[in-house]
Structure formats: C-alpha cells, structure tokens
Amino acid sequence: MPNVCWETNTGNPNVANYVTVDFKVDWNPDMTNIVNYPASSFASSSDVDTVLCDIGRTNDSNMPSTTTYKEFSASTSLMTWGGVSRGNIGLYNALALGNVDAVILEAETMDLCMSHASPNDNAQHAHSISPCMTGSALTGSTTTKPGACNDSGADCFGTNFDFMRTGWSTSDGTYGGNYGLAKDGHVIYGPFNADGEVWSCDDVDTTPHRHHRRTAAWHP
C-alpha cells in the first residue's frame, strides 16, 4: 500500500488493498559487456513493437538470462510489474491490455498521484513518474486524499506530460533522484538526464543497463 494518501477514482471501481510481493534479485549487477537484446532484435519497426509493445515483456519468463531474478510462489502475479517505487507501490510497465499506452488509456481512472488499483488483485500501482514523490522525498500528503484525475478542473497530463514531473529536480547530474527499484536489480532514476532535460529515446541504447529510467510519458 502507498505510504502517502491515495484516492479511489469514481471512474475506477477497484479499491486498493494489500498484496504480497516476494522476489529476489542481485542489487545493481554489473552489466559491462552484457547484451540483453542484440541489435538484430530491432532491425525493423515490427521488431521494435515485438519487444517494446508487449504487456508481458516484464514477466519472469522474459527476464534476461543475465539477471538473477527469482519470483516466489507467495507473491501476487508480477507479470506486468517493472519494479517497485520508493512510495511503496508497484511500478507497472507502460502498457495496458491490448498493448496500448496505459497512461493515455487509463489516466482518467487514476488519482492525482498518477496511481490506481489493479482490477485483478487491487494492487495500487503507477505506470509513470508520480508528482507525489520526488527523488529525495515523499511529497504526497499523509492526511489528505490527493484528488482524482477526473475531478473537475484536474489535468493529469499538463503540457507535454509535465504534471507528472511536478516537484522533480532538474539539477544536472542527479537524474531527478531515484524513483524505485527495477525487477532486474537496477535503480529506476527520475525523469531527467544529466543535462536536466527529460529523457528521450536517444538517451538509451537497445540494451538498457546499469540503471533504468522512467519518465512521465516514456518508458524503456
């Protein structure tokens, strides 16, 4: 459950509840000279879609053989989980059923922390960066519900998705801080690159390593 207040959106009938998350993985393993996906995996736009537009890509069966990830039977299904946040909620991958962008499709069912409950196990989770925490602190309230994205006047997108990045630092070299831990053991950084700019596809290669980056509108 979140360690800040959350809100059940009237557009989402699911109410958050506790779930058991149980896996182990080596912390921040050295990925020097290790290739998870060869360049041939991205030879065409269709190839890119096969890798990146698959909601099951984060399933344990698709974890690279170079990781030590192990999921235990007591755990809720983590098929669509990319990791966990410092805010104590699941960080799901970027897709919804049908392999479509989850933020675009589901934002109107989220609260103003950009989170909502899963329909299958009621796990509170996010698909993107959250304005209710920053790289150094939790900024969501512990006494007041945040409101919902379908409230009158609410705008969970803003200009170029900047609402989600509210409060995150653009200080050079900090990446905005740390957001959470990925299932392969690497740190999930904030929404900015070392120049204080929002991450773009040009900032990563086809074999993400050393750390994972998660921004308001784009996920590796």
pLDDT tens digits along 11-63: 888 999 999 999 999 998 888 888 888 889 999 999 989 988 999 999 988 88
pLDDT at 149: 95
Are 74 and 23 spatial neighbours (Cβ–Cβ below 8 Å)?
no
Are 212 and 31 spatial neighbours (Cβ–Cβ below 8 Å)?
no
Q: Work out the mean pLDDT of the chain and round it to a whole number.
A: 86
Which residues neighbour 159 within 8 Å (Cβ) at sequence distance 6 or greater?
none
| Phi, psi (rounded to 5 degrees) for 106 | -115, 0
| Phi, psi (rounded to 5 degrees) for 135 | -65, -15
Is pLDDT at 216 greater than 60 in this prediction? Answer: no
Q: How far is CA 97 from CA 55, 119, 139, 167, in A?
A: 7, 11, 30, 30
Does an H or E element contain 52, and which? helix 45-52
Which residue would you say has higher pLDDT here, 124 or 203?
124
Collapsing DSSP states into helix, strand and coil, what is residue 41? helix
pLDDT at 31: 84
pLDDT at 214: 44
% pLDDT > 70, the chain: 91
- pTM reported for the whole predicted model: 0.88
Are 119 and 8 spatial neighbours (Cβ–Cβ below 8 Å)?
no
pLDDT at 171: 79
